[in-house]
A and B are shown apart, each in its own frame.
Chain A
Amino acid sequence: NAGVTQTPKFQVLKTGQSMTLQCAQDMNHEYMSWYRQDPGMGLRLIHYSVGAGITDQGEVPNGYNVSRSTTEDFPLRLLSAAPSQTSVYFCASRLKRSPLHFGNGTRLTVT
């Protein structure tokens, strides 16, 4: 099993550009989520999904969109990148009452 796979590992964007961070899991987990991790802030929830076709906002959703058309995939879209979105992004999945399984992150820089 590959677990949770995130692509790309690194990305540099200019302000105003859009892009999609990809996340796929092969563990048949219903729950998937996106976090951002900034120095001194800890992990903050952006969006999450409890199953295909269902998404909801987390703590810091502004500037991001998600969709969940399949159980396996949960892409995160940046609509118009801003320097404040420079961060490391983690995708995670889990079964109910089980630990989160994290990908290895996408390091995004917006100039």
Chain B
Amino acid sequence: KNQVEQSPQSLIILEGKNCTLQCNYTVSPFSNLRWYKQDTGRGPVSLTIMTFSENTKSNGRYTATLDADTKQSSLHITASQLSDSASYICVVSAGNSGNTPLVFGKGTRLSVIA
């Protein structure tokens, strides 16, 4: 069964600190992996996409990594800000056609405090 597991479920960090969120997946065939950020009361917004051949991709203070061999991805947030407080959702696309099924993780709830 295709699954995406995220850890930790929740995390509290001080402003200015770094943190890393984890995503493990068992999805086949793998197409790509996206990280979404969901602010409270809003819909998720895409942060980054990782394809099979990519190991690392950065988007400002966000850096995503992918290890296709171990089927793990991480999202590293550098120098956290209060505005980083949100849920971060890992989504894996299964298959190779244009409208393939998406498998959602349950998200990690990050709280950045002053």
| A contact set with B: CB distance below 8 Å | 4, 31, 40-45, 48, 50, 90, 92, 96-97, 99-100, 102-105
Chain A interface mostly: strand
Most chain A C-beta atoms within 10 Å of own C-beta, residue among B34, B104, B105:
B104
Q: Are A103 and B102 touching (Cβ within 8 A)?
A: no
Q: Which residues does chain B contribute within 8 Å of A44, judged by CB atoms? A: 104
Q: Are A50 and B99 touching (Cβ within 8 A)?
A: yes
Q: Which residues does chain A contribute within 8 Å of B36, judged by CB atoms? A: 99-100
Q: How many A-B residue pairs have CB under 8 A?
A: 42
Minimum CB–CB distance from B34 to chain A (whole Å) comes to 6
Q: Are A102 and B43 touching (Cβ within 8 A)?
A: yes
Q: Are A105 and B41 touching (Cβ within 8 A)?
A: yes
